[in-house]
Amino acid sequence: MSTDPAGVARIGRYDVTAGTWSWFGYRLERTDVPGDWIGLSEITVVGDRLAVIERDKLNGPAAAIKRIYTVELPDGPAAPGPLRVLPKRLALDVLPALRATNGWTQEKLEGLTLAGNGQVYAITDNDGLQDATGETVLLRLGPSAKVFGRR
């Protein structure tokens, strides 16, 4: 919305019983690279928190932000008034894992899941466009307790 603070994305929660939405703010990291932007690729529930993939639009050696953050949604509806920006906590910088094979660093870190065995997995999607190699990278990031911390 035009009244939201700059550099903030909205995260919504729908209350099925009340039939209402609550909106909270999520502050995005910044980029100074012309033509780049920061966005959210994935939001998934991990226990009592949300895990959020935040990434830039850059690939190869220019890639700088490929991170997973966690954010806790407050109980109950959002308070009336200005959009409340929630604090986030860095869970994992995924860039080192994407660079570990010394290949091309993929742009679109887009999928995140917590498997039944407690392992956290992430995947890229690079669409095979002209500025991408078309490769997909599946990463096993480690146990949930290590990636997200014990709760």
pLDDT in tens, 33-72: 999 999 999 999 998 899 999 999 998 999 999 999 999 9
pLDDT band at 128 (very low <50, low <70, confident <90, very high): low
Question: Domain limits of the chain?
Answer: 8-148
Does position 133 have pLDDT exceeding 80, yes or no?
no
Determine the Cα–Cα distance for residues 142 and 114; give it in Å rounded to an integer: 10
Is the Cα dihedral 14, 20, 25, 28 positive or negative? positive
pLDDT at 1: 63
pLDDT at 5: 83
Phi-psi region of 134 (alpha: psi -120 to 50; beta: other; left: phi over 0): left
SS3 content of the chain, % helix, strand, coil (to 5): 10, 40, 50
